[in-house]
Amino acid sequence: SQQGEEDPQALSIQEGENATMNCSYKTSINNLQWYRQNSGRGLVHLILIRSNEREKHSGRLRVTLDTSKKSSSLLITASRAADTASYFCAAYVISNFGNEKLTFGTGTRLTIIP
């Protein structure tokens, strides 16, 4: 079953504005990762935040994690047309059998309007 729910499902903003996407997950995690997917392509890893971290930055990306609320957010500042893509959070968990697993949220389709 899906690990996470993301909102909004779709987001359209003007170029230059900031975009915020939220992710909620259900179980305990080791870390949470954010990925980007351009239409019909594979996924590109953006950023990883560990369960003991609360905030992380990478360039124009800022990720927060609240393990008490089982939620995370991805902020893209000063958006560009090239940021148009789908963004997914993914929870890294270890199963009861010791297997690692990366399960994805429902995704946010971001459209940047030039």
| Structure letter (DSSP) for residue 74 | E
Closest approach, Cβ 76 to another protein, in A, equals: 19
Backbone φ, ψ for residue 30 (5° rounding): -90, -45
CB of 29 to another protein, least distance (A): 11
Pairing state of beta strands 71-76 and 100-104? unpaired
Nearer to another protein, 21 or 105 (CB): 105
Give contact residues for another protein (rule: CB under 8 A). 2, 30-31, 33, 35, 40-45, 48, 88, 92, 97, 99-107, 109
